[in-house]
Structure formats: structure tokens, C-alpha cells
Structure 1
Amino acid sequence: MAENQSAATGSRFNAYMALTLATVSMIVCFMAWSNFAPLASDIAVMFHLSVSQRTLLLATPVLLGSIMRIPMGILSDKYGGKKVYLLLMIFILIPLFMITRVHTFAMLLVAALLVGMAGTSFAVGVSYASVWFPPQQQGLALGIVSMGNMGNAVAALTLPWISKTHGFDAVYYFLMILTVVLAILFGVLCKEMPVDKTKTMRGALSVAKESSTWYLSLFYFLTFGLFVSFTNLTPLFLGDVFGVPQITAGLYAALFAGLCTIIRPIGGFAADKKRPMQMLQWIFIGIAAFALLIMLTFKMQALFVTGIVGVGLVAGFGNGVIFKMVPYVSKGNTGAVTGFVGAMGGLGGFFPPLVVGWIHGITGHYQLGIFLLVLTALLCWFVLWRRFIHGDVHIVK
């Protein structure tokens, strides 16, 4: 009896330590992943960038960080999230150091592409943390580990101040030190997750045959894509349209990212109690409504910020609801499903800055780009309504 109790206590300790350090490590990785957005004004001056070049720079890290979530999630399932997480944090140090040495926009883009690997920490972290908790607790647990997204907000709060007070290069030395510290803590304090070494790449990729993988990917393309793209675009909007200083604009971006992240576990907890698909239809309607408010208030800063906050709250809640369903798609392949869904969510953050920059270059305005967000939200609502609300498909019974 005492031995069983000790084992249970040890298991709980391992679970809570895995959840805690996976989350904190993801915060640091996301700080690296989103480092350019808070510093966009400084970088634009240093490299003489146009609006379209700035949006390209913001989008570039998102590309690799999205696509590589698929293999990284699969590798975590097969070899263990701890090993993959440690190798990832070591790799991130390379592009962070590169950024302090580049002198051309082309080389900056190369470094931005490589630092995008930090975004794959999401697939690794979810795969690693999810195995320690039973299904009835996974909505909340995955909501908590996904709060690593808060790295975007932390970056927006801290990096502009570090750049202003200690210089541009100090930002990247700071990020490198944080990454090394977390890698050491993770390596020492966390146990490796149980893995099935007989898994094959072909078996993991079989999740692509599950229609639910692609429906969740579409929905996450909208909700998580909003989180990434608006965290990056908010400082650009506020600075370009309203003339808000870089540090203040960074605070607004941090507010958006923080709200979007903090409410995520609430969405996961709610999805543990209620039917997730029923809640999602109201989430998509809410996104469309707040996006419409943003589109119509580009000359009214208070209402514009209200729209930004509203979108952050609704999208963050939706992120938690969607990821409640991920472990149910294919048993034992949570990392693989997370990779696919997370990749599409990341691509949802990659394309909007490029489209917004392209539309602004043609029209001189941002409103049409926001209108495309309204249409995307309505499309997701229609697909959800037809397939899951009026259909007979249920991911979570």
C-alpha cells in the first residue's frame, strides 16, 4: 500500500513537473519565435524596410515553425518529448546568435527562417505533457501547457525595453541565456515520457487519413492563426495608423497575446464539461463580429483596441476548445495530430501578414485584409454547422 502510494506521488510529481517546465520552456521558445514583432520599428530603420518587407520578416519565422510541427510532433511520440525538446532548445541558439551578426536583409531572413523552429515547441510540448494526464483532465492540462503561447506577450513586454536600454544585440543574448537555463532545468528535473518505439513514420502519418484531423486543422488555422498574426500585426497597425510609439504598441500587443493565452485553459476546461463543437459555433460568430468592428474603426483607436481585445479573448477560448479534441482523433498519435493541427494553425499566422502587406501596398489601406478574416470565420462556422452540428460526426462523444 505504502509502495503504491509512493509510486502515485512520484507519478504526480513527474506529471506536474512535466507540465510546468514544458509550459515555461514553451514561453521562452515563443519569445524567440516572436522576437521580431516588438522590435519591428527598430529593425525597419536599421535595414531600411518597406511595409511589405516588414510583414515578410514577421511572417518568415512562422513558416518553418508551422511546417516542422508535423515531424517534430511525430519524433516526440516515437523518441520522447524530453529528448526532442532539449535538442530543439540547443538548435535555437544558432539563429539567435546569427541575428546579432547579420548586416543584410537577406541574411536576416535566413536567420528568421531558422529561428522559426522555436515555434515547433508547441507540438513537442503538447505531446510531452499530454501523456501524464487522463483523458478527463486533458482539456485543462493541454490548455495550461499551451499557455506557453504567452511567450509572445512576454516578448512584447520585455524586448523593446531591453533594446532601448541595453542595445539591440542585448535582446538576443538575453534570449540565449534564458534558453540555456531552461534547457538545463528541463534536462535535470524532467523525466522522459513513455514511448512506443515500434511506431513508424507511416503509422504516425496515418492521422492524415482522419477527416477530423483536417477539420480541426481548419478551425485552428483561424483561431491560432489569429493569435500569431495579430500579435505580430498589432504593433504595425497601431504605429502606422495611429502613430503609437513602439514600446506602447508593444504593450498593446502583449495585452492581446496575454488575454488570448490566459483564457485558453478556461476554454479547455469548459470543453471538458460541455460539447466542444457546440461552443465552437459561437466562437466563430464572435470572431466575425469583432473582426468587423476592427475593420470599421481604423480611425477610432479606442474602438479599434476593443475589437483587438475581443478577438483575442474569443480566439484564445477557441484554441482551448479545439485542443480538447486533439487526443481523441487517433489514440497514441497525439504528437502527430498536434503536428498537423498546429502546423495549420501556424500557417494561419503566416499568410495574414503577407496578405495584409500586399493589400496595403496596392490600396494603401488595411481594411480589406481584415474583411478576409470575417469571411474566413463565416466559412469555418458554415463547415462546422454542416458537418458537426447538423451532421452525425462527433470527435468527443
Structure 2
Amino acid sequence: MENISNDKKAATMALVMGTLAMLVSFMAWSSVAPLATAFAPKLGFVAGTGAQKVLVAVPVLLGSIMRIPMGILSDRLGGKKVFIALMIFTLIPLVIIPHITSYTAMLWVLLLLGMAGTSFAVAISYVSVWFPAEKQGLALGIAGMGNIGNAVSALILPSIIGPAKHIDYAYNFLIVLIAVFTVIFALTTKEMPTDKNKTLGSALSVAKEKDTWYLSLFYMLTFGSFMAFGNLIPTLIGKGNVNGFVIADNPARVLVIAGFWAAGFSAVATIMRPLGGAIADKILPKKMLMFVFAGVFVSTLVLAEGTKNFAILMTGVFLLAVFAGIGNGVVFKMVPYVSKKNTGAVTGFVGAIGGLGGFVYPFVVAGIGNLHISFLVLTGFTIICAIVLWAVFFRGGDTIVKNPRN
């Protein structure tokens, strides 16, 4: 594979367009959560119930699992080709969704929509090859800001459908946006170099690396929290929420205001991601991760105390956004060091497990039926991650990334 880290123009375009391509893909991937209550009468379920949580969680499933093969394909075929094919594929469920009136049929189509979430693995694989190792923390942190597509969807889609809840308006907007951006991406970016001799076996060999699984565990906490709460906030504070919170007198405004809160959470977490990556370029990532886990621990305790108090709950939500966002950037500073020739494969594995955290947690909340206990479950998982980090990376001496300045 040729060295292209000195091609500054191509690197800049890869970073900018890769980030924006992930942003519009994430807008599609996360489009259901802010509109979930609008789907309720059309699909025949009660807003705020377990059926809504399942509807929101389903796109996360395929978008997580398929990150593994998509990351491998990007390494082998080229990130530009794979990204273009992915955006074209995403148009299929976007066209179908407004016409569905069956809850079961919608779940199947949302599985297809989940493919848009694999854009993360493609973007990281595509962007990483253009930057030297010492700059990848910041570069991949910026690329990861494509996650802000969650926030953009939550912010604008409820307003697009309006009081009459014209769901088709939102999806027509997404169709045009992704179609146009696919063309722009195709015309403005260069393909990354690929290794034609790379085999599926060599790509999957990253599963034998213990560090792949440690980073997956940590990302399940940080990115899993980001995805889960970004999708759950409209359910936690919107129409029919179990806490009895009333965020607007006008029912038509509840969807919009809940979307603002969800957008704020996603925006804060996304903005903090490159900060985490940039700091991890200077400070050993294991030290940063322990700081992150301490912050997430405190955040979950605040959440547990806020189940009946809106101000305390949202304080916990935004504390979590800060630390989860930083943690996402730190973890992906470490990813390229696990297997430098298989960044897409490692990204796929780590991203898949992290995304599954975002898929599983809404089911934990729905299954337990008690928010206080549900938040304490997240507290317990944070403690497990901190123990593993201490045992393996502090006491055990595994560093992944060695920084001579520390």
C-alpha cells in the first residue's frame, strides 16, 4: 500500500467529505427516534411503550453487526466505492418507510435502514489512511463528528413533519439530501489505496487480538451510551413518558422540544469526541479512559437520582454526553494501533460491539421497567470497564499506544 499521508489536499477532502458522508448517513440511521411518537397512530402502537423502544432500537442492530464486513470491504475494495454504494443502498428503505402501515413490516424495513449506521466503519477506514499515526487521534475524532447526524435529525425532522405529522416530508427530505450528497462525494474525493492481496482470513485475524476485544468493551460503554440515550431521550421525556414529565402544554410541540433535548445531547457528545482524540494524542489514552470512566460513573449516579426530577435527569444526561463523547475519541485514537493494515476490520469489530451496546440498553430499560434500576445497571457496567482497564492496562502493562512524553 502506497504512503499517501503527504497528499494534503486529498487528505483534507477525505476528512471533510468522509465526515459529511457519515453525517447524512447517520441522519437517516437515527431518523426513527425523533419521529417515533408520530409513527404510533400509523403503526398501531401506544407512544411511550416498549413497542416504541423496540422500533427505535431495531435500526441499531444491523447498523452495528454489519460494521464488521463493511470495514473489511472498505479496506479491500476502497472506502470511496463502498461509501457510494452504501449511500445508494440507504435510499431503498428511505423510499419505503413512509408507505408502511404495519408495525411488523416496519421492523423489517428498519433493519435495512440500519445499514446506514455502518457508515462509521467505512469512514474511519477511509479517513485513517490519509494521516500519520501521530495525527490520527484528532483526525479520527473529527471524522467521528459525523455522529452529529443524530443531533441534526432530532433537531430538524420533527419540525419538517409539522403539527400534521407528515412523515413523508421528513423522508423525502432525507432522500434528496443523500442522493445529492452521493454525487458530491463521488465527484470530490479520491479513492484510498488498497491491498489487493489482503484475504478475508487476514482481516478477520484482528479478532484474535485481545486488544480488539478490550477496546470493544470500552466502546460498548461510551458509544453504546451515546447511541442509547440519543435515541431514548424522546421516549424518556416525550409523550407518554413514565416519569410524567410535561415539557410542553401543546402536544404538537412535545415532539419538537423532545427533539431539541435529544439533539443537544448528541451535539455535546459529538463535539467532545475530537477533543478526546486530540488529548489522547498528547496523553496516554489509558489515563484518559480512567478519567472518562470516573465521569461516566458519576453521570449514571446523577441519572439514577433524577428519575422524578427533570432538572437532575437532564444534568445527568449532559454529563454523560461530555464523558461518553471524550471516551469515543480516546478509544478510536487506539484503534489504528491494534492492526495497522486492518484498521477497517478493527473499526468494524469495535464499532459493532459499541453499537450493540446502543441496541441492547433500550431493551434493558424496557425489560426492567424501572429507570432508577436501569441507570444503576449502567453504573455497574462502568465499574466493570474500569476494573478491566486497571487490571490489563495499568497493572498488566498493556498500553497499545506508547507515548514517550508520558
Match of 1:243 among 227, 246, 250: 246
Q: Partner of 1:337 in structure 2?
A: 346
Note the 1:167-178 alignment, pairs <5 A: 167-178=166-177
Pairs within 5 Å for 1:296-375 = 296-360=305-369, 365-375=370-380
Distance 1:154 1:289 in 2: 27
Q: 2:132 aligned to 119, 131, 134, which one?
A: 134
Post-superposition Cα deviations, 1:269-309, rounded to whole Å, max 9, x if no partner, equal: 00000000011112111111111111111111111111100
Amino acid at match of 1:113: L
Contact 2:5 2:131 in 1 (8 A): no
Structure-2 residue corresponding to 1:99: 97
Deviations 1:162-205 (A, max 9, x none): 01167210111100111011100110010000111100000000
SS of 1:340's equivalent in the other structure is helix
SS across alignment from 1:132 = coil
Q: 2:148 aligns with which of 132, 145, 150?
A: 150
Q: Distance in 1 between matches of 2:194 and 2:299?
A: 43
1:76-115 pair list within 5 angstroms: 76-115=74-113
Shift of 1:243: 2.6
SS of aligned partner of 2:99: coil
Find 1:67's aligned residue among 58, 65, 68: 65
Give the 3-state SS of the residue equivalent to 2:192 in structure 1.
Answer: coil
For 1:21, the equivalent position in structure 2 comes to: 17
- Partner Cα distance (2:246, 2:345) in 1: 43
Aligned residues: 386
SS in structure 2 at match of 1:100: helix
Q: Give the alignment of 1:254-265 within 5 angstroms.
A: 254-265=263-274
User: Cα RMSD over matched residues?
Assistant: 1.2
2:5/2:129 contact within 8 Å kept: no
Please state which structure has a larger fraction of its residues in helix.
1
Find the counterpart in structure 2 of residue 34 from structure 1: 30
Instruction: Tell me how far 1:8 sits from its aligned partner.
Output: 9.0
Shift of 1:12: 0.9
Counterpart AA for 1:27: L
Post-superposition CA distance 1:79-114 (Å, at most 9, x none):
100000000000000001110111100111111110
**What's the CA shift for 1:46?**
2.3
Cα deviation for residue 220 of structure 1 reads 0.1
What secondary structure sits across from 1:194 in the alignment? Answer: coil
SS at match of 2:190: coil
Distance in 1 between residues matched to 2:351 and 2:5, nearest whole Å: 32
State percent identity of aligned pairs.
Answer: 52
- What's the TM-score, normalizing by structure 1? 0.95
Aligned match of 2:251: none
2:230 aligns with 231
Q: Is the 8 A contact 2:5 2:130 kept in 1?
A: no
SS at match of 1:273: coil
- Aligned pair in 2 of structure 1 residues 8, 140: CA closer, same or farther (>3 Å)? closer
1:394 aligns with 2:399: yes
Q: Secondary structure at the match of 1:187?
A: helix
Structure 2 regions of 5+ residues with no counterpart?
248-253
Q: 1:223, CA displacement in angstroms? A: 0.2
Residue 303 of structure 2 corresponds to 294
Q: CA deviation at 1:370?
A: 1.0
Q: Is the 8 A contact 2:42 2:101 kept in 1?
A: no
TM-score of the pair, normalised by structure 2: 0.93
Find the counterpart in structure 2 of residue 383 from structure 1. Answer: 388
Aligned to 1:46: 42
Deviations 1:61-88 (A, max 9, x none): 0000000000000000001000000000
User: 2: CA distance between counterparts of 1:193 and 1:326?
Assistant: 19
What one-letter code is carried by the residue in structure 1 that aligns with 2:397? Answer: D
- Paired amino acid for 1:17: M
Please give the per-residue CA displacement for 1:296-323, whole angstroms capped at 9, x wherever unaligned.
Answer: 1111111111110000000000000010
- Provide the rounded CA distance (Å) in 2 between the counterparts of 1:382 and 1:49: 41
Runs of 4+ that moved beyond 4 A: none
Residue by residue over 1:137-175, the C-alpha shift from the partner in whole angstroms, topping out at 9 and shown as x without a partner, is 000000000000000000000000001167210111100
Q: Distance in 2 between matches of 1:196 and 1:219?
A: 29
Q: Provide the C-alpha distance between the structure 1 equivalents of 2:142 and 2:41, rounded to a whole number of angstroms.
A: 38
Structure 1, unmatched stretches of 5+, are 1-6
- CA–CA separation in structure 1 for the residues paired with 2:8 and 2:201: 33
Distance 1:232 1:8 in 2: 37
Partner in structure 2 of residue 282 of structure 1: 291
Match of 1:4 in 2: none
The letter for the 1-side match of 2:34 is P
Structure 1 45/8 Cα, relative in aligned 2: closer, same or farther at 3 Å? closer
Q: In structure 2, what residue type is equivalent to 1:187?
A: A
Deviations 1:348-371, CA, capped at 9 Å, x for gaps: 1000111111222xxxx3221111
- 2:197 paired with 1:211: no
Would the aligned equivalents of 2:213 and 2:350 in 1 still touch at CA under 8 Å? yes
